[in-house]
Structure 1
Amino acid sequence: EAVRREFIRRTRLQVVPAEAGDLVVAGEVLSFTAVPIIFNQQGRGSSYSILVDLNVRLTDTKTGAVLFQNDRWTFRDVFELAQNSNEFVLEDTAATDRLARRFASSLVASVLHSKP
């Protein structure tokens, strides 16, 4: 969703189903890891780092040419674990949303500035 919104916001491209488009963005999450980086007095993680590795490709549907590709793109964000587990879920989701927006912005910028 973040990639779709970013392409709409920053380009004149229209986002349509893959079968109808001239370009197709395809991607794969290679890994998603949350690792504690700060521990509280009880030895439990209180701050976590989220690491996401992605494989992404932009292909011209008419020629099959790969216009942009990054086989291993890594994004990272940090969030604090709240005392209440409900708050943890909300912060975890917020961190993931921040990562998605940052990835989308980086992808669109890379595509716009790549040379065919």
Structure 2
Amino acid sequence: MKFVLSAVLGLAAFSASAQSVSFTEPADGATVTSPFKVKFAVSGMDVKPAGEMAANTGHHHLIINGDSLKAGESIPFDDKHLHFGKGQTETDVTLPPGKYKLTMQFANGAHQSYGSGLSKTINVTVK
């Protein structure tokens, strides 16, 4: 019984830590020309369009020069918060020259953030 319980607890810890997001393009610190391709990835969750509310599902958001949002917080609809509610996993971003912080935030079907655990930030320079 002790072995089974520790195995179950270990599996639960693995499952929770297996949920993550990442940028597959561009790399952190990259210098890019506008427009540039941004590609999103998620592990341990499924990408679904906005409106669909199912466990372990959601869609990507890209925050320009901003931070991740607390779990449960709604992601604003403005020029700084780009929504990919059709379930897109890549996009072309057009920004003027400068240094930018890009934060990817995964959120549920109602655009409510899953928090910092499903967020990733990189920095890019647009030439």
- Does 1 or 2 have the higher relative contact order (CA < 8 Å, sep 6+)? 2
* Higher gyration radius (CA): 1
Query: TM-score normalised to the size of structure 1?
Result: 0.33
Query: TM-score normalised to the size of structure 2?
Result: 0.31
